[in-house]
Amino acid sequence: MSRAGAARRPPDSGSVAVEAAILVPAVVALALIVAGVGRIQTTGGVVDAAARAGARAASLARTPEGAQQAAEDAARGVFSEQHVPCTDLQITQPSSDPVTVNNGALQTVDVRVVCTVRLGWLLVDGMPGSKTLKGEFSSVIDRYRSAG
């Protein structure tokens, strides 16, 4: 080809379409990954909220049996309100620990919540696998609560 033939060649038409065909799937994949990480973080927040609610409810109970039932009811209530389907929900028996502060000792109650969620619910429906999320919280037992 001579110089005159090269000068008459049309500009690179269609290069934008090729670039878009390469870049668009990568951008969409990145957006889906960001959305998936956001869903996992949000669900982790729900698990933490369930642990907080369980510990607070257990700290108000009068008996260890009542504390366990209150913690379970409060945690399950949070999952129900937030529509998070745990395939394997575990709520540990609330344990009590003393904490020393300036004015003496305080009792706290600790609750741990473990929730396994299907990746199909978190990310893309039909995706195999699951993610286990854990939350733990301590609440101070009110020493001035009434006996009845």
Q: How many CB atoms lie within 10 A of CB 3?
A: 7
- What is the token pair recorded at 134? 């854990």
Judge contact between 78 and 46, C-beta under 8 A: yes
pLDDT of residue 140: 87
Q: Report the C-alpha dihedral over residues 138, 143, 147, 148, rounded to 10 degrees.
A: -50
Distance CA 123, CA 117 (A): 11
Distance CA 113, CA 69 (A): 14
Per residue of the chain (148 residues), what is the pLDDT tens digit? 556 555 566 666 667 778 888 899 999 989 988 988 898 999 999 999 999 999 999 988 888 888 899 999 999 999 999 999 998 999 998 887 776 667 777 788 999 999 999 988 887 788 888 999 999 999 988 776 655 5
Distance CA 64, CA 54 (A): 13
In angstroms, what CA-CA distances link 53 with 73, 80, 132? 9, 13, 19
pLDDT of residue 32: 85
Q: How many CB atoms lie within 10 A of CB 132?
A: 13
pLDDT of residue 14: 65
Distance CA 87, CA 84 (A): 10
pLDDT of residue 1: 53
